[in-house]
A and B are shown apart, each in its own frame.
Chain A
């Protein structure tokens, strides 16, 4: 229980509808419609849609803990992305299609088709909201060539629409790569929190040499270092989910998103590696839930750019201004709406 009643009921919904066995069933090709219908019927999917447009009018900051909960549950459908897409489409005056909507950035191929790489939930989404340079397109995934890019049971895919098709969505403000980075970062934080929790529990249960392995300093030191990374990622992700109120309530500030994705992606390998080290051989079996989470961490690290992409992005951002590192950091962390002075 938390002191956030929305979060409590959201968590209850996930506990009831998104158990590891349901996640596995969907990952192995089972239908995701029942899960999606349950999520959609709950009304949570319209949380970010402003009240004037028939939604709950919550802000990105408010739903950050939900994204974290989705990450912890190894959510097999793009709930967070659809929440954003509905808010963006409604406010832009576009029709909102039913079914899960994933987000992607894409490039045009030589024949005018559209190509999107490493799209999270690409295999289970009905639609994709795609940004190509300045343009936005809503595209049915049924018309795309879908190629799995994850390992067995992974849901990420390359999507390729050979023809120039889809619905053009004008006047959506904000940058989809930043949105994707922000939402995925919160999912990374969630998966990490769950992995840490599991690893601690396992270390306290698993006995070797006559005592729980969590009593050994070698294990304790590793779990502490893991916890540091998890807390850092959670903090960065929270920074990344602050709405740019100068724009609207559901779009992050690009620099926040950059910091979040850089830091969260940076922590992925260390966190996943330690979780596996603690779990030993059982952790690399299909039956153990650890793989549901570590697989997502590795996938999400890559989605919407990894740490190197965002480090470079941030480095260029800083070099474009005549400022020190410390002042750049202090100014960009201030919660006031973007008042950047490019001196």
Chain B
């Protein structure tokens, strides 16, 4: 049902009805914001990158293949937007940005760890993971993205994706252990 909403909106975009982008924004802007925030650590920048994704969706909607899953296409654009940002980012990072607080978690919804401290530790460990591995784990945690989708997104085989996810998780586990109080 949820995916059907995306398919309908994607088809509308492909048919030249740009107003469908608001439906997609409503459904996915939080997901993208969280993705970007965990990649960049900057709230305002993450909002801008999220907005830029939807503006590109609006601009290139006619190229979306109706009937195809929407999310892999959206994340393809999101990765492009992030790469463009990295390519243009100034090497100097303001001190204020470095001191920005990490994203706030909502511990009550955490079922696996059931503790605010552990969720914060996991966020901190994730933030220390190298960018490429962090991006991979963030993409792999999305239930709507299959290993096949990830392989197509990242340009490698499904087998390679599985091994890369495994290695990234191992490294995350090490970092998580180092975050212990």
Chains A and B bind each other: no
